Amino acid sequence: MLKEFKNFILTGNVIDFAVAVILAGAVGLVVNGFVEDIVMPVVGHFAGGMDFSNLKVVLSQAVGAEGTEGYVAENAIRWGKWVNTIINLIIVGFVMFMMVRAYNKARGGAPEPGPTQEDLLAEIRDALKK
């Protein structure tokens, strides 16, 4: 069982997948920073100086002061953060699309299909006739 596990882990697919997950995490951090620090301030500027990350609908106000006994935190629907997340998703999707598109273009497109099973059987039949 240990040998099978070793063979499974050392196959190219598992290692490629691990690298892809690590790179996706890094790309996600970069894109999230891009959205939060560059895109959203520009969107907020054109929306009248609005900061989307602070937009919310308060369901119940906070009671007391934070850190004191009996404090109850504010309960709110933070829809501005959700807008940021949607914009982040759209940008990440676009970046991933562009990366896959560039990879496919560099690779030369789809590989040429090989001979069909019927073609191979016909070649074998002809070889046996000779």
Q: Which domains does the chain have, with CATH numbers?
A: 2-109 (1.10.1200.120)
pLDDT value for 48: 80
**Residue-level pLDDT at 77:** 92
Burial of 84 (0-12, 13-18, 19+ CB in 10 A): buried
The DSSP H or E segment spanning 101 is: helix 79-107
| pLDDT (0 to 100) of residue 31 | 80
Question: In the numeric block, which tokens belong to residue 89?
Answer: 């998703």
Res 111: pLDDT: 65
Q: What is the DSSP string of 19-67?
A: HHHHHHHHHHHHHHHHIIIIIHHHHHHHTTS--GGG--EEEE--BS-TT
Residue 76 φ/ψ, nearest 5 degrees: -145, 155
Q: Taking the CB of residue 94, how many other CB atoms lie within 10 A of it?
A: 11
Predicted pLDDT of residue 114: 79
- pLDDT confidence of residue 70: 84
Splitting the chain (130 residues) into consecutive groups of 10 residues, what average pLDDT does each group show?
A: 78 76 85 82 80 84 85 89 83 82 78 81 90
